[in-house]
Amino acid sequence: METAPPHDGCPVTRTLDLIGERWSLLIIRDIFYGVRRFDALQHHLGISKKVLSCRLARLLQGGILKKVPYQQKPERFEYRLTQKGRDLFPVLLTMMRWGNRWLAEKNESHLHLKHLGCGEVAEPKLVCSHCEKPLSPASVRAETSNSSG
Amino acid sequence: METAPPHDGCPVTRTLDLIGERWSLLIIRDIFYGVRRFDALQHHLGISKKVLSCRLARLLQGGILKKVPYQQKPERFEYRLTQKGRDLFPVLLTMMRWGNRWLAEKNESHLHLKHLGCGEVAEPKLVCSHCEKPLSPASVRAETSNSSG
DNA sequence: ACTGGTTAGTCTCATAAAAAAACTAACAAG
DNA sequence: CTTGTTAGTTTTTTTATGAGACTAACCAGT
């Protein structure tokens, strides 16, 4: 990768505009964990209620979360991931792998993922969906395609 | 994934503590693109100099970037990724894929990656490094291992 | 010697965002 | 009619960000 495509319109820029604020990805991670209610999120994350309510509103508006009622009188609901939100799983997984590889501290408990398919600890690996070979910075070139004008 | 491991010490939390601030990942992306100098970064990103200099200092201190001189008199250097930094490539790739899938706008140019290995547009896919099968939220369970006390 | 240009910042100040904590609201149990 | 639960909003204080002026080391031109 040697030429720099524009910053605006880059899918990474757009992604971070939506989920790049402080706490957003941690909220999404917690919902993957099954922490789905306002109070539970607030306590598990140690986030202020105001910021939590702002972030949830943004993620709802962005189509990443949806509200699902779990009781009436008073009406209460929990936050669930949409398909769009669930599709952020690879982002969290690659961050988790990176954190485990580069930021893990000795003498501390270690969070890892067990792959239920094969029973092993899953080391996520990125491959090309066409040829199934690993993707590295050197093996890939960024290209801009004009889909119309 | 149904139980919630602790927030502190989670590799995602640790990762975001280091690279989760506004601009950090965009700086790293730009350096992948080959934008390596202070001025070039500042102009390409449209970031304030103060914030850029704070972020670069943090990424240097975190071992993600290193300074490499490219001239003397006056001494000038550029910012390069260390191995630790280069290893963030999958994070950017999964974000790029997500942005392309969910945030791309019609009638706009589209940034994609060409895989030089097979010549196709690379759709990055996450697989288990053991069995090579795709990793989904349902096929994986978070587990905490105590590496000592 | 003086002016302007390049690169890489720092400093200052106005505005925006976040943390902490008090307050609201709808209901249920005792 | 008081306490508890859940889901917030409001207010105040602290911190971060953005815009822009300024510094500093050098070079090239006149």
Answer yes or no: is B30 within a domain: yes
The verdict on residue A74 lying in a domain is yes
Residue A36 domain flag = yes
Q: Which helix (H) or strand (E) holds A147?
A: none
Q: What is the DSSP letter of A8?
A: T
- Residue-number span of the structural domain to which B42 is assigned: 11-103+110-139
The answer on pLDDT for A149 being more than 50 is no
Residue contact A107–B149, C-beta within 8 A? yes
Strands A76-81 and A109-115: unpaired
The Cα A113–Cα B145 span in angstroms is 10
The pLDDT confidence band at residue A108, using thresholds 50, 70 and 90, is confident
Of the partner residues A87, A95, A141, the one whose CB lies closest to the CB of residue B91: A95
**Is B91 among the domain residues?**
yes
Query: What pLDDT, on a 0 to 100 scale, did the predictor assign at position A134?
Result: 94
Burial A83-103 (b: 16+ CB within 10 A, else e): ebbbbbbbbbbbbbbbbbebb
Which segment of A35-44, A138-147, B39-48 scores lowest on mean pLDDT? Answer: A138-147
CA distance B93 to B108: 20
Q: Which residues of chain B have a CB within 8 Å of the CB of A32? A: 1, 137
A42: nearest CA in chain B?
A: B7
| B121 inside domain | yes
CB-contacted nucleotides of strand C (7 Å): 7-12, 17-22, 26-28
3-state secondary structure of B34: coil
**Residue-level pLDDT at A148:** 45
pLDDT of B3 reads 67
Q: Tell me if A123 and B141 make a contact (CB, 8 A cut-off).
A: no
**pLDDT one digit per residue (tens) for chain B, 149 residues:** 446 889 988 999 999 999 999 999 999 999 999 999 999 999 999 999 999 999 999 999 999 999 999 998 888 999 999 999 999 999 999 999 999 999 988 877 788 899 999 999 989 999 999 999 999 999 999 998 865 43
Q: How confident is the model over A114-131, as a mean pLDDT?
A: 93
In contact, B55 and B24? CB cutoff 8 Å: yes
Question: For A20-34, A41-55, B2-16, which range has the lowest pLDDT when averaged over its residues?
Answer: B2-16
Amino acid at residue number A86: R
Burial A33-60 (b: 16+ CB within 10 A, else e): bebbeeebbbebbebeeebbeebbebbe
**For residue A69, how many other CB atoms are within 10 A of its CB?**
9
The two tokens of residue A16 are 């971070």
Q: Quick one: DSSP state of residue A121?
A: B
Query: Does some domain include residue A148?
Result: no
Q: How many structural domains are present in chain A?
A: 1
A42: the nucleotide nearest its CA (via C1') is D7
Residue A50 lies in a domain: yes
What pLDDT is stored for residue B50 in this prediction?
96
Distances (CA, A) of B39 to A53, B9, B63: 37, 36, 21
pLDDT score for B1: 43
Largest CA distance in chain B: 59
Give yes or no for a contact between A144 and B113, defined as CB atoms under 8 angstroms apart: no
CATH number at residue A26: 1.10.10.10
Q: In this complex, which protein residues place their C-beta within 7 A of any atom belonging to strand C?
A: A 21-23, 46-51, 54, 73-74; B 37-40, 49-50, 53, 56, 74, 76-78
Q: What is the mean pLDDT of chain A?
A: 92
A63 occurs within a structural domain: yes
Q: What is the pLDDT of residue A147?
A: 53
CB B12 within 8 A of CB A95: yes
Residue numbers in B near A130 (CB within 8 A) = 115, 118, 120, 122-123
